[in-house]
Amino acid sequence: MFVFPEPPYFFLLAGLLAGITSGLAFEASLKQLVQEWSISRSTRTIAYLQGVQLQLPFLGICIGICIFLASGLEVFGFPTSLSYGVAIILTLLTGLLIWSQLSKLLVQLERGGSRSIDLDSWG
């Protein structure tokens, strides 16, 4: 008789909670640093935006989402090793793309100010 293992509902919720709380910390840090930059217009502030103050919450988002994705796959019956393999690859690729896009956006902000990233004016 084959018995299915208990799905990791705890890790599913813990990963989601970690991702959300890290996302809120990331948002607050990014807003604070952009506000400081808008006052001083210093290139040092933009360079600081890509430092540990943003990398740590971003890493927390990535880890939380990776655990959430892997646990979600396990709920549907995938083996743990396959679930974490797929989740790690997806999280790494997505995280690198998002970090790259954020870096480009910050450079664009530094060069052209907030008008250069006003999406409503692209029309």
| Contact (Cβ atoms closer than 8 angstroms) between residue 10 and residue 72 | no
Instruction: Give residue 123's pLDDT.
Output: 47
Instruction: Give residue 19's pLDDT.
Output: 96
Average pLDDT for 101-106: 83
Instruction: Give residue 26's pLDDT.
Output: 93
Which two structure tokens, joined as six digits, stand for 116?
């250069």
| Contact (Cβ atoms closer than 8 angstroms) between residue 57 and residue 25 | yes
pLDDT tens per residue, range 4-17: 667 788 999 999 99
Give me the DSSP letters along 73-119: HHHTT--HHHHHHHHHHHHHHHHHHHHHHHHHHHHHHHHH-GGGG-G
The CA-CA-CA angle for residues 22, 33, 40, to 5°, reads 180
CA atoms of 48 and 12, how far apart (whole Å): 33
CA atoms of 119 and 65, how far apart (whole Å): 27
- Give the CB-side neighbour count of residue 94, counting CA atoms within 13 A: 14
Q: Which residue has the higher pLDDT, 5 or 115?
A: 5
Q: Which residue has the higher pLDDT, 17 or 119?
A: 17
pLDDT tens per residue, range 37-95: 778 776 666 666 677 888 999 999 999 999 999 999 999 989 999 999 999 999 999 99
CA atoms of 27 and 18, how far apart (whole Å): 14
Instruction: Give residue 95's pLDDT.
Output: 96
